[in-house]
């Protein structure tokens, strides 16, 4: 994980979380392995928390409610068509993170924007309507 991406969380003035179809223990392992767990420790939402997993909107709606966020003001970063469908069904804006050649599949699923480098994320977030403050700098 690049230092740039890790420092991104220090400057993000928006609430953020992880909402995954995976089990909570897998999320803890994966985020811990990448050095990101500390940024999400109390904001992990799993399909284990809801009746229906993605592509149903339940998980994203649950996460938004827990974060006291209005779904249309939420931005979801997704790398799977199933997740895109769930976020769209929840009425959220969706950014497709296409690092494994799934660009066309994410577009077909309905993402609002596709990107391939996490360094692009702050700029993309700043350009979206109904999104809070994103500041980058030292």
Between CA 88 and CA 60 the distance in angstroms is 10
Q: Give the domains, in start order, of the chain with CATH numbers.
A: 3-127 (3.40.50.1000)
Between CA 62 and CA 50 the distance in angstroms is 7
The first and second tokens of residue 69, run together, are 């966020």
Between CA 27 and CA 20 the distance in angstroms is 8
Q: Which pLDDT tens digits describe the chain residue by residue (138 residues)? A: 455 555 666 666 778 899 999 999 999 999 999 888 988 888 999 999 999 999 999 999 999 999 999 999 899 999 999 999 999 999 999 999 998 889 999 999 999 999 998 888 888 888 887 665 444 443
Instruction: Tokens 């995954």: give the residue.
Output: 20
How high is the pLDDT of residue 9? 64
The first and second tokens of residue 94, run together, are 């969706």
The first and second tokens of residue 73, run together, are 């003001």
Q: Fill in the DSSP letter of residue 134.
A: B
Neighbours of 76 (CB within 10 A): 22
């Amino acid at each position: 994980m690049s230092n740039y991406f890790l420092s991104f969380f220090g400057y993000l003035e928006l609430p953020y979380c992880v909402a995954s179809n995976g089990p909570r223990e897998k999320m803890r392992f994966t985020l811990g392995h990448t050095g990101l767990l500390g940024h999400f420790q109390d904001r992990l939402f799993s399909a284990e928390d809801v009746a229906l997993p993605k592509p149903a909107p339940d998980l994203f709606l649950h996460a938004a409610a827990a974060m006291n966020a209005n779904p249309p003001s939420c931005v979801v970063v997704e790398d799977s068509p199933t997740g895109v469908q769930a976020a769209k069904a929840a009425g959220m804006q969706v950014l497709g993170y296409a690092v494994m050649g799934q660009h066309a599949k994410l577009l077909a699923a309905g993402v609002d924007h596709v990107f391939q480098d996490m360094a692009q994320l702050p700029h993309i977030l700043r350009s979206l309507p109904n999104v809070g403050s994103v500041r980058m700098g030292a």
